[in-house]
Amino acid sequence: MIDLTQEDIDRVAQLQIQLHTLERARIQQLNLEQSHELLEQYLNREPSMMFDLDRIISGTPSADRPISPTPEQHTWCVCIHCWDMPTDAERKCCGQTPDNCTSLLPHLFVLQEGVLRLARRIWNDVRAEEDAAEPGEANKQFRYAAYRQYVVWQHGALGEGRRVVIPSCCVWRVRDKYTDPFNQYRGFLPSRV
């Protein structure tokens, strides 16, 4: 694992803020025709965004998950950022203190879209597959890529048939970033071998 100093973390966070500020300013400069053209291109690249577009047009809030748990609710959680999971196997915490929860790391690169796009391309090339283009499918593929990247980051390559449970706090961080429009998630599947 790469050891980053607090200075590195702060510098990266500042650069991200500057980039977002710059991009927001550029978006504000677009005229209506340019905005429509950009939105159409984005929807062609990421069909799952149609669900967000429908939500924004209708004024409907995003599907919310339950109110945040308290430490008393989950004796298995140390970091206090975990959410309840459907099975005992999935009720796993990162084991860090609340301030150092793995899901809160500013350099959690397994969530970066560029990293996940590259990982998906490599995965598809190895398996001789193509990404499905149905609405909602892109976020599902990003979630799976993020889970694979997390496992490699924390455990290295596990090999065929070997699986590990990802901490609940990290699973929900991935799900928050790459949501399912119907709030339907598969969950952990034990080895099929």
- pLDDT, tens digit (0-9, with 9 covering 90-100), for 163-187: 888 999 999 888 888 888 777 777 7
Angle between helix axes 32-45 and 49-58 (nearest 10 degrees) is 140
CA 191 to chain centre: 23
pTM over 0.85: no
- State how far the alpha carbon of 117 is from the alpha carbons of 49, 80, 90, in Å: 16, 30, 26
Per-residue pLDDT band at 135 (split at 50, 70, 90): low
- What percent of the chain has pLDDT above 90? 6
| Residue ranges per structural domain of the chain | 65-177
* Cβ neighbour number for residue 31 with a 10 Å cutoff: 8
- pLDDT, tens digit (0-9, with 9 covering 90-100), for 83-99: 888 888 889 999 988 88
